[in-house]
């Protein structure tokens, strides 16, 4: 990552919304689980008849009314360690409401189904039943019988469905990215307080990211490309994990090692929790003395990660070596071998690309994505591993997602997806004509349109184009 970070702008959210706009986000199925978890806690503390519980139940009823159309239902199920609706994983809820998930499994509840017409009293009975000790619930014949005895008709529960091999759960890239940011923040907090790192959540996020890369890498790259508008260490760490996985997925290594590489990307900068905030957040260039302090963060990171077990131990190595460079010309000095560890070399390329193309350094102009990829190729064999440099550029294309490019027709377009066959022929959303007038955007796949080609990358700020407006609608 860059050696000093800008003070983050507090009023923007991941999608460029203000905090007030973010609070008015559309309802999600997971909101029902959140309010039920809150009602269970409140009922356990104050009793089922407490006014706060009643208020929470009315809130849950309102959420369900917004989610369940007449004649329909909302079905939330559990598969292994995740909640899902239809075939979409509720990753944020699976991470944040893990205690609820464990409690449901202990009570042999693997499915919660809410039908149109559910009443507030039925929700109260559901909370009452779910708060029963497992042994007492079994004496009542299980959760389904307990609800029926209380006259509940619009909520059904049952065991977890059998997981047939054809059940292919998917994770929304936006959900995975939001969950990843939350986990990155939690890891930073834990490290700063000397607490054990919660690696279970980190592994869940990396697993989800890997699934998305295999199914919808362009969607995930589009989200991580929204880097100039909401910058902090969490965004950087998560972007590095995404880019590291994108490279590693092409190396024919098994899933366990891919997860370890993703964790190494997520944790590579953890040592910065030991660097004074006035240096981390300094808006100007660092003094030589401050650079000495900043350059200690790889050693701090290795110390924090020294006890990670098993394959995750490569995160300890990557944290220590990620500024060493392929030819060992960087820091800290490594004299025990010719090159840094393979995982380090993967993380280093991802780290450079995200830091170089971000807006964290107000005293440096960020590189355009196309400039960063060309720099990586130019420095292959010295700063960067030459084989991995080519793999990285093949994965992203010479004009990565989020690049603004000019076509030979004079039109401007935003890169949405890299080309499948040719590095210089991605999928674009054309947004301006040759006179630089905004037009109704349209998509063109340059691999399918041989008559047009890219002539150069363009600075979006100079062109007055807001990339987020086009990347968000992928």
Q: What is the mean pLDDT of residues 434-446?
A: 93
**pLDDT bucket at 231, cuts 50 / 70 / 90:** low
Among residues of the chain, what percentage have pLDDT more than 70?
A: 90
Q: Pick 154 or 86 by higher pLDDT.
A: 154
Among residues of the chain, what percentage have pLDDT more than 90?
A: 64
The CA-atom distances, in angstroms, between 461 and each of 11, 15, 365, 404 are 21, 18, 11, 10
Rounded to the nearest 5 degrees, what angle is found at the Cα of 381, between the Cα atoms of 377 and 385?
80
**pLDDT bucket at 65, cuts 50 / 70 / 90:** confident
- What does the mean pLDDT of the chain come to? 87
The CATH architecture annotation of domain 173-396 reads Orthogonal Bundle (1.10)
pLDDT at 10: 37
Q: In what order do the strands lie in the sheet with 412-417?
A: 438-445, 427-432, 412-417, 404-407, 454-457
Tokens of 341: 């560890």
What one-character-per-residue DSSP string does 335-403 give? -SSSS--HHHHHHHHHHHHHHHTSS--TTSPPPPHHHHHHHHHHTBTTTB-HHHHHHHHHHH-SS-TT-
What is d(CA 208, CA 70) in angstroms, rounded to the nearest whole number? 33
Q: Pick 67 or 345 by higher pLDDT.
A: 345
What is d(CA 121, CA 114) in angstroms, rounded to the nearest whole number? 13
Backbone φ and ψ of 428, nearest 5°: -120, 155
pLDDT at 472: 63
Q: In this predicted structure, which of 192-206, 387-401, 439-453, 456-470 has the lowest mean pLDDT? A: 456-470
How many residues in the chain?
474
What's the pTM? 0.84
Q: Pick 232 or 58 by higher pLDDT.
A: 58
pLDDT at 18: 39
Per-domain boundaries in the chain: 19-158, 173-396, 404-471
Q: What is the mean pLDDT of residues 355-365?
A: 73
What is d(CA 321, CA 315) in angstroms, rounded to the nearest whole number? 10
Task: Tell me: cis bond preceding 204? Omega within 30 of 0 counts.
Answer: no
| Residue 472 CB-density burial (10 A; 0-12 exposed, 13-18 middle, 19+ buried) | middle
């Amino acid at each position: 990552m860059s050696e000093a970070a800008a003070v983050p702008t507090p009023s923007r959210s991941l999608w460029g919304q203000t905090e007030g706009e973010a609070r008015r986000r559309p309802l999600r199925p997971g909101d029902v689980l959140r309010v039920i978890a809150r009602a269970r806690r409140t009922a356990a503390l104050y009793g089922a008849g407490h006014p706060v519980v009643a208020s929470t139940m009315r809130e849950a009823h309102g959420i369900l009314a917004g989610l369940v159309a007449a004649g329909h239902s909302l079905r939330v199920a559990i598969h292994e360690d995740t909640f899902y609706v239809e075939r979409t994983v509720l990753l944020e809820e699976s991470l944040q409401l893990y205690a609820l998930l464990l409690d449901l499994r202990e009570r042999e509840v693997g499915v919660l189904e809410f039908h149109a017409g559910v009443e507030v009293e039925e929700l109260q009975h559901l909370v009452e039943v779910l708060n029963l000790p497992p042994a007492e619930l079994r004496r009542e014949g299980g959760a389904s019988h307990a609800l029926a005895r209380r006259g509940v008709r619009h909520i059904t529960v049952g065991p977890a469905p059998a997981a047939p091999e054809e059940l292919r759960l998917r994770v929304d890239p936006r959900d995975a990215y939001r969950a990843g940011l939350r986990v990155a923040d939690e890891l930073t907090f834990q490290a700063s307080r000397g607490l054990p790192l919660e690696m279970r959540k980190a592994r869940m996020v990396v697993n989800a990211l890997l699934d998305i890369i295999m199914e919808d890498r362009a969607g995930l790259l589009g989200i991580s490309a929204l880097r100039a508008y909401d910058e902090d260490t969490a965004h950087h760490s998560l972007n590095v994990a995404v880019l590291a996985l994108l490279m590693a997925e092409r190396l024919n290594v098994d899933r366990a090692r891919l997860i370890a590489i993703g964790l190494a990307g997520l944790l590579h900068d953890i040592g910065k929790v030991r660097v004074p905030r006035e240096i981390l957040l300094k808006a100007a260039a660092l003094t030589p003395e401050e650079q000495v302090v900043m350059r200690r963060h790889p050693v701090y990171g290795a110390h924090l990660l020294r006890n990670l077990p098993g394959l995750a131990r490569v995160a300890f190595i990557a944290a220590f070596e990620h500024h060493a460079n392929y030819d060992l010309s960087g820091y800290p000095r490594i004299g025990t071998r010719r090159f840094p560890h393979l995982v380090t070399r993967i993380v280093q390329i991802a780290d450079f690309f995200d830091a170089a193309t971000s807006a964290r350094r107000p005293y440096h102009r960020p590189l355009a994505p196309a400039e960063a990829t060309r720099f990586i190729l130019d420095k292959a064999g010295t700063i960067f591993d030459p084989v991995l440099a080519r793999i990285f550029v093949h994965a992203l294309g010479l004009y990565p997602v989020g690049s603004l490019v000019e076509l030979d027709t004079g039109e401007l377009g935003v890169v949405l997806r890299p080309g499948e066959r040719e590095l210089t022929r991605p999928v674009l959303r054309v947004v301006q004509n040759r006179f630089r007038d905004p037009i109704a955007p349209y998509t063109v796949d340059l691999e399918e349109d041989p008559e047009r080609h890219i002539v150069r990358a363009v600075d979006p700020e100079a062109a007055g184009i807001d990339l987020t407006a086009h990347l968000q609608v992928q």
